[in-house]
Amino acid sequence: MTKPAHTMPPPDAAERRRAPPVLTYSVEQLPLFNAAFYNGARAELSKVAELTVPPRDARAFEVPAGHFFRIVSVEGPQVGDLNLWNAHDLTERFYSGKTRALHATHLSTGGRLWSTFPRLRPMATITHDTLDWYGWDEDGAGVHDIIGTRCDPYTNLLLKGTEYHHCCHSNLTRALVTARDLPLEEAEVHVHDVMNVFMCTGYTRDTHQYFMKASPVRPGDFIEFFAEIDLLVALSACPGGDCGASHSDDAAKCYPLNVEVHRPLERVLIGWQSPPPNRYSRSHGTG
């Protein structure tokens, strides 16, 4: 969609457009990614749990603070839709919009996944990414986006007029129902915009529309996260498969995703603390 222009540009249009871009947030004020700490912690790991997310379905699992989890590509290229919650309070969940504003449209090693207000703190830190070589391609696309939402049956019905029940939104909802024994309607409202793990996306240069292309992920690739707080995690193996053609239907070839949870040595966590909730007073100008 091009933006229609019905208004004549003002005489100083060129000058107005020349205003220099300024990064919206002074991100140098954020806590630094302490590579030495995370690399030290991940140097010796014991695997404490492993599970498989079947294609076109989702699974939920817990990751205690101070543990790592990996999402591993197996069998074939497959995109995963990731949700994170505070394991003790589902109202604190991954905030993709603020994370995008603080970091970028796509995440890799060193990126943090921030939580919703009022806590706004890092829930997880990305500590390894075997797709970090991809960078930005000639279409302006990158891997692991936080600009998409999650494929869902509502948009699908709007666009195609049919019901499809294995969209990531529904898969994540069912996984949360099972994990927390919640009624379906109650679980659904906790499902939120995802991190699109392994997905390759961007905005078209001419019309700035969201596009996807076949993921470069191959079996053996993985992305690794450090849980900064106790996490409940849900991962859907998207019905789009590698998202090179379609989603929200049974057309794409889909593969499972593996999840591993790893514990570091106790001594490497000495001195490390879970990030506290944001300290804003929450008075909002009332007192």
Least CB distance to Zn ion at residue 212 (A) = 10
Q: Is 168 in the site for Zn ion (CB under 5 A)?
A: yes
The position carrying tokens 């939104």 is 169
Residue number with CB closer to Zn ion (152 or 228): 152
Site stretch for Zn ion (CB under 5 A), options 85-93, 112-120, 148-156, 174-182: 148-156
* Gap between the Cα atoms of 188 and 184, Å rounded: 6
Q: Is 212 in the site for Zn ion (CB under 5 A)?
A: no
For the chain, how far is it from start to end, CA to CA, in angstroms? 46
Site stretch for Zn ion (CB under 5 A), options 13-21, 150-158, 266-274, 278-286: 150-158
Q: CA–CA distance from 77 to each of 222, 252, 256 (Å)?
A: 11, 11, 9
Least CB distance to Zn ion at residue 136 (A) = 23
Q: Is 151 in the site for Zn ion (CB under 5 A)?
A: yes
DSSP state of 106: B
What's CA 5's distance to the chain center, in Å? 35
Residue number with CB closer to Zn ion (151 or 229): 151
Q: Which helix (DSSP H) or strand (DSSP E) does residue 110 occupy?
A: none
Q: Which helix (DSSP H) or strand (DSSP E) does residue 37 occupy?
A: helix 35-42
Least CB distance to Zn ion at residue 81 (A) = 5
Kindly identify the residues of this chain, within the stretch 231-250, that bind Zn ion according to CB under 5 A: 238
Residue number with CB closer to Zn ion (127 or 236): 236
- Which residues are near Zn ion by CB under 5 A? 81, 151, 168, 238
